[in-house]
Chain A
Amino acid sequence: MAPPTVGGMLLSHGGEPSPTGGPVARWSVEQVLALAPDDASRTAGGRLGADTAWTGTGHDTAGAVWGLCGGSGGAAYRTVVDTTGPAYSCSCPSRKFPCKHALGLLLLRASDDAAFRPGEPPDWAAAWVGARRGRAAKEGGPATGGEAARGPADPAAARKRAERRAERVTGGAQELEQRLADLLRGGLAATDRAEYGLWEETAARMVDAQAPGLAARVRELGAITGSGPGWPARLLEECGLLHLLDTAWLGRERLPDPLAATVRTRVGLPVSPEGAPVRDHWLVLAQYDTPDGRIVARRIWLYGRESGRTALLLSFGAAGRSPAPALPVGATIDAELTPYPGGGQLRAELGEQFGTLAPAGPPPGIAASAAPAVYGDALREDPWLDARPVTLRDVIPVPVKDGWQLADAHADSALPIAPAAVSRPGLWKLVALSGGGPVTVFGEIGHRGFDPFAAWDPVQAEEGGGAPGGSIVPLV
């Protein structure tokens, strides 16, 4: 799991209407629901997705949608959505983003085209849409990373600050080494006592040392103790890797550049996207949020049709707020991504978007037997990696004694499904889609097994409904 790198994470989503002026793709209901910041908004938005809730609904050819939603009293809320962003504006006081009105409007748009009158936006909507488009046009080139753009004016002072921070991290790494050594000397068995408080205290010390990556790893160690049979072995593995990270940081001068960048990221130093932007047709494979302390981390996996690259958009939001932006699973966007530095790093930042494209099928997958090697190879560049994204072709979910496997439909090999995924409802969706036959699945392969994120409906693929290769079904 990549550590949260707070800072440099704000994504500018200054979308621009499709320059070709072609028809803007309407989103499906699932895609809209995927934009909701939480379940409550999803439900509330769903209720507002009926035409009785709306008046004055309309859309223009460039992707703007608007409508008035009657509130619980008084004036109606004015809701505008620019679907090319997507970006939302609503006069309601909700702090959720997008709010239930924006979701309801998009849901209505997804389910009932006839409810929208094509034309020019009314004045109240035109002002916002115009301002947005004006801004997008003025910005011109690709949006650059917030951190880099807002970068300090004085390079010398910046270097000084970076050095000071590195010193503190070094202090933290040395302290952590000492604590690990003390722990090993006394034995891991000590951590199984209820009053054991070393993890929390150590994590706090690492936060003080401005090494959030180390802090997160230490906190995860605390969850391993007593986590079922074999926990001492798992704890020793993670202690070993933490020790490896410490020593790598302390000896970073002697590491090759990409590995050093990986170590900096893993320790938790702020990094900014750099390198040449990659423009491609990116298929949104998966989007899911995980709580990460008091903030929510959102991961969006993209696959570039032309480049064959897989990229990760990682963003963070404070509790109760949706990390921006959300992209609907199954959509294909024409956009530029700027990669982050580091060996084997898949994280990227979303730059300028040029429009949405017709839905397309799954990436060309690999056989189950080839998946472990993908992960193994990636460990060369990042030994702390827990998993690697991969699309599996023709696999069949198989129940086994203590869990599930994805078995190759044509060969005698299988991948165990990660324990965390076995207890998720998505597993049953995957099993249902398969019906005992082969499916294409996107997910992460790692040392805990395979974690499925999305699958393509094989029956639909066969019958030729929806997108070629079947429509994508999110499993997380």
Chain B
Amino acid sequence: MPRTTGPTARTATTDAPSPAAAAAPTTDTAAARASVGSLPWEELVTSALLGTDRRPPAPRGGPAPVPADAPRALLDAAARHTVRQRAGLLPAVPGTRPEPAARDPRPALPEAARHRLARLLADRAAPSGSGRRGAAPDLTELIPQWLATANRQGYRAPAALLPALLDAARARTDLRPQALAFAGPRGLWLAGLNPDWKFALRGAASGALHPDVSDPEAVSRLWEEGLFAERVALLDAVRAQDPPAGLALLATTWPAERAEDRLMFLDSLRSGLGGDDEPFLERALSDRSRNVRATAAELLSALPESALAGRMAARAMSCVGPDRTGDTPSIAVEAPHECDAAMQRDGVAAVPPTGRGERSWWLGQLVEATPLGSWEERFGGRPAEEVVALPVADDWAGELHAAWCRAAVRQRNPRWSRALLGHPSAPPADGPGTASIAERSKLLAILDQAERASWVAEFIAAHGLSEAFQLLGVCTVPWAGPLGRAVVDALDIARDGGSYPWSFSGVMGLAERCLDPAEADRLEVLTAAQDEQEGASPGAGGYWSEAFQRLVSTLRLRAAMEAELLS
């Protein structure tokens, strides 16, 4: 209770039977005691703090209690004062009430789904003490999926769970977009009151809330006056709706922008990149900032029709061509001897990173920026698969293929991606393109979903799971039928191989989140504990059965979660 409202004693309590009265003194020090009682509270506190010997509790000129009696008189007065003060407390003056949160028109969650969310969030806040999860599902990992489904269904977040939801989003940035969308206007309102949840407001400014792009005047005003994050969000939004309009918006202020900002804005042109952007990007090749020039060159090289792509192709063709000396068709490479001003203007970095030769560094950049289609022409109309399979002279194969991979990713060319990936069942080292799993997952991302899934399925069937983790990461969830079956079969084989399941914990965890829940029934048979295999690691069978149990129960849980939200 605030003292600011004044300890206005109501008489109500003074006529209550006083416990102190029971022990009332009968001596003639009563008068002195009474005068102590009439002292203001501040005087009592001062006397108590300094001690009654040094500062007797007495009014100026009034009768002081005998020193031996002073502490008790002071305590009597303090007790009386405290009870009177507490009994007389008054309500405080209200502060400025917060603006009410905007109404959230979305329907409330079904009850079962609300309980489920409460448990998912509670599990995140209180993870189990031991590291081993046993056969129980890892609930925290299911939050993203739950949120995605709830948002698709357009449900409103239960108010009481908003704090836990915001805490979860604070701890895990990957949850933020979905969590904030689900939290809705009330979540944003709440975040405005707690500095711990500042991130939610940042998100709101930089795109969680979509800027309105229908009013051209509002757009140009926001573009002129907005904060940097707001302007990036605006440019992205306009660009998403009408790419030329986005470019035009950027062009209005381009020369006046700071170099760091120009770089970020240029990056926004990646979405909806097209031939219309070429003149602008070509001008940006002469930008004052080296980073802006490099980004402009990179964007232009992703446009096979662009003049820059043509110039790069011409340079690359002069370095790489058919080797006419031998009997079998093969590729001859003569890396560039210098990096001239024109090359540098087209975005070629002249200075290689430490440990790399200048010439191969330049070659890589030229090939990377060259439209892939021109290689088919260069090698007599051979399709990509055949070009990739051609032998390369003088150990240039690695350099050349790596550059092609980067080009395929940059130009989003599925034909070349497929060619460079090669056949999934071929041993990775013998592949035509690249043995690197990281490169392969990037190439896979260029292919469409079904093709990606079946390539990875065949890869797993041929090579097992040990290298599959990163490849599985680029497949869409839930995994398509053949892919799911391949993963389950491979896990089954791994168990029979006798190793411990935690060697596969990465893939297991992915499988829990990504397998189609419909697979649960098929998996059930694997949960049975098996007899110890010969040569197996001790106890592995039990752990495998536990791991499969967790997989099945997680899949069942995901199915139940979906059902609760769809009901």
- Tell me the A residues contacting B by CB distance below 8 Å: 28-30, 33, 39-40, 42-44, 46-53, 72-73, 110-112, 177, 180-190, 232-233, 235-237, 239-241, 243-245, 247-248, 250-256, 259, 263, 368-369, 371-373, 375-377, 379-381, 383, 396, 398-401, 405, 407-408, 412-416, 425, 428-429, 431-433, 435-437, 446-449, 457, 459-460, 463, 465-466, 473
Are B163 and A240 in contact, with the CB atoms below 8 A? no
- Tell me the B residues contacting A by CB distance below 8 Å: 1-2, 10, 12-13, 16-17, 19-20, 22-23, 41, 44-45, 48-54, 67, 70-72, 74-83, 85-101, 108, 111-112, 115-116, 118-119, 122-123, 126-129, 134-137, 139, 158-160, 162-163, 186, 189-190, 193-194, 542, 549, 552-553, 556-557, 560
Q: Which residues of A contact B136 (CB under 8 A)?
A: 47-48, 50, 53
Q: Is the interface of B mostly helix, strand, loop or mixed?
A: helix
- In the complex, A211→B122 CA distance in Å? 41
Which one of A30, A53, A243 contacts B79 once the chains associate, using CB atoms below 8 Å? A243
Q: Which residues of A contact B122 (CB under 8 A)?
A: 33, 42-43, 46
Are A110 and B163 in contact, with the CB atoms below 8 A? no
The list of the 7 closest CB pairs from A to B, nearest first, reads: A187-B51, A240-B78, A251-B22, A436-B100, A248-B19, A184-B71, A47-B136
- In the complex, A40→B127 CA distance in Å? 9
Are B50 and A189 in contact, with the CB atoms below 8 A? yes
Q: Which residues of A contact B50 (CB under 8 A)?
A: 187, 189
Are A50 and B553 in contact, with the CB atoms below 8 A? yes
- In the complex, A425→B162 CA distance in Å? 11
- In the complex, A314→B97 CA distance in Å? 37
Which one of A42, A245, A248 contacts B126 once the chains associate, using CB atoms below 8 Å? A42
- In the complex, A247→B137 CA distance in Å? 61
Are A39 and B126 in contact, with the CB atoms below 8 A? yes
* Also in contact, A240 and B75, with CB within 8 A (given A33-B122, A232-B48): yes
Which one of A254, A376, A429 contacts B160 once the chains associate, using CB atoms below 8 Å? A429
Residue among A243, A425, A457 with the highest chain B CB neighbour number at 10 A = A243
- In the complex, A40→B111 CA distance in Å? 25
Please give the distance in Å from B143's CB to the nearest CB on chain A: 14
Additional 11 contacts, C-beta under 8 A, given A188-B48, A401-B95: A46-B119, A184-B75, A185-B70, A187-B54, A255-B22, A376-B10, A376-B12, A376-B87, A407-B94, A415-B91, A433-B160
* Also in contact, A412 and B137, with CB within 8 A (given A186-B53, A247-B22, A437-B100): no
Q: Which residues of A contact B119 (CB under 8 A)?
A: 29, 46, 49
- In the complex, A379→B89 CA distance in Å? 12
**B15: nearest residue on chain A (CB-CB)?**
A380
Which one of A46, A51, A245, A428 contacts B190 once the chains associate, using CB atoms below 8 Å? A428
Q: Which residues of B contact A381 (CB under 8 A)?
A: 16
Are B1 and A447 in contact, with the CB atoms below 8 A? yes
Please give the distance in Å from A199's CB to the nearest CB on chain B: 16
Q: Which residues of A contact B80 (CB under 8 A)?
A: 240
* Also in contact, A50 and B159, with CB within 8 A (given A181-B72, A244-B19, A376-B87): no
Q: Which residues of A contact B19 (CB under 8 A)?
A: 244-245, 247-248, 251, 255, 259, 263, 383
Please give the distance in Å from A435's CB to the nearest CB on chain B: 4
Please give the distance in Å from B157's CB to the nearest CB on chain A: 9
Residue among B2, B90, B127 with the highest chain A CB neighbour number at 10 A = B2
* Also in contact, A436 and B81, with CB within 8 A (given A184-B74, A185-B71, A368-B91): no
**A386: nearest residue on chain B (CB-CB)?**
B86
Q: Which residues of A contact B100 (CB under 8 A)?
A: 435-437
- In the complex, A282→B85 CA distance in Å? 34
- In the complex, A371→B119 CA distance in Å? 35
Would you give 19 A-B contacts (Cβ < 8 Å), ordered by A? Answer: A29-B118, A46-B122, A185-B71, A236-B45, A237-B82, A240-B75, A241-B82, A243-B76, A247-B22, A376-B86, A376-B89, A383-B16, A413-B91, A431-B190, A435-B186, A447-B85, A457-B158, A457-B160, A460-B108
Q: Which residues of A contact B86 (CB under 8 A)?
A: 375-376, 379, 447
Are B12 and A380 in contact, with the CB atoms below 8 A? yes
Q: Which residues of B contact A187 (CB under 8 A)?
A: 48-51, 54
Q: Which residues of B contact A30 (CB under 8 A)?
A: 115, 118
Please give the distance in Å from B40's CB to the nearest CB on chain A: 12
Q: Which residues of A contact B126 (CB under 8 A)?
A: 39-40, 42-43
- In the complex, A428→B170 CA distance in Å? 15
Please give the distance in Å from B98's CB to the nearest CB on chain A: 5
- In the complex, A449→B17 CA distance in Å? 25
Residue among A368, A401, A459 with the highest chain B CB neighbour number at 10 A = A459
Give the A-B contact count at a CB cut-off of 8 A: 264
Are A372 and B49 in contact, with the CB atoms below 8 A? no
Q: Which residues of B contact A49 (CB under 8 A)?
A: 119
Q: Which residues of B contact A29 (CB under 8 A)?
A: 115, 118-119
- In the complex, A351→B187 CA distance in Å? 43
- In the complex, A4→B137 CA distance in Å? 41
Are B159 and A413 in contact, with the CB atoms below 8 A? no
Are A414 and B93 in contact, with the CB atoms below 8 A? yes
Are B13 and A250 in contact, with the CB atoms below 8 A? no
* Also in contact, A44 and B189, with CB within 8 A (given A232-B48, A415-B91, A457-B160): no
**B187: nearest residue on chain A (CB-CB)?**
A432
Q: Which residues of A contact B98 (CB under 8 A)?
A: 396, 398-399, 436
Q: Which residues of B contact A463 (CB under 8 A)?
A: 108
Are B160 and A432 in contact, with the CB atoms below 8 A? yes
- In the complex, A182→B74 CA distance in Å? 12
Are A181 and B159 in contact, with the CB atoms below 8 A? no
* Also in contact, A241 and B48, with CB within 8 A (given A429-B160, A457-B159): no
Please give the distance in Å from A342's CB to the nearest CB on chain B: 13
**B101: nearest residue on chain A (CB-CB)?**
A435
Are A43 and B22 in contact, with the CB atoms below 8 A? no
Residue among B80, B93, B98, B129 with the highest chain A CB neighbour number at 10 A = B98
Q: Which residues of A contact B22 (CB under 8 A)?
A: 247-248, 251-255
- In the complex, A446→B89 CA distance in Å? 9
- In the complex, A237→B70 CA distance in Å? 16
* Also in contact, A375 and B89, with CB within 8 A (given A241-B79, A256-B17): yes
Q: Which residues of B contact A425 (CB under 8 A)?
A: 163
- In the complex, A183→B49 CA distance in Å? 10
Q: Which residues of A contact B13 (CB under 8 A)?
A: 376-377, 379-380
**B41: nearest residue on chain A (CB-CB)?**
A233
- In the complex, A224→B112 CA distance in Å? 46
- In the complex, A254→B49 CA distance in Å? 33
- In the complex, A24→B160 CA distance in Å? 27
Q: Which residues of A contact B79 (CB under 8 A)?
A: 240-241, 243-244, 383
Residue among B111, B160, B186 with the highest chain A CB neighbour number at 10 A = B160
Are B99 and A436 in contact, with the CB atoms below 8 A? yes
- In the complex, A52→B134 CA distance in Å? 13
**A381: nearest residue on chain B (CB-CB)?**
B16
Please give the distance in Å from B452's CB to the nearest CB on chain A: 31
Please give the distance in Å from B445's CB to the nearest CB on chain A: 35
Q: Which residues of B contact A380 (CB under 8 A)?
A: 12-13, 16, 87
- In the complex, A376→B8 CA distance in Å? 11
* Also in contact, A189 and B49, with CB within 8 A (given A239-B78, A447-B1): yes
Are A435 and B159 in contact, with the CB atoms below 8 A? yes
- In the complex, A457→B158 CA distance in Å? 9
- In the complex, A369→B10 CA distance in Å? 15
**A192: nearest residue on chain B (CB-CB)?**
B49
Q: Which residues of A contact B111 (CB under 8 A)?
A: 465-466
**B555: nearest residue on chain A (CB-CB)?**
A52
Please give the distance in Å from B39's CB to the nearest CB on chain A: 12
Are A43 and B159 in contact, with the CB atoms below 8 A? no
Which one of B87, B112, B186 contacts A379 once the chains associate, using CB atoms below 8 Å? B87
**A473: nearest residue on chain B (CB-CB)?**
B160
Are B91 and A369 in contact, with the CB atoms below 8 A? yes
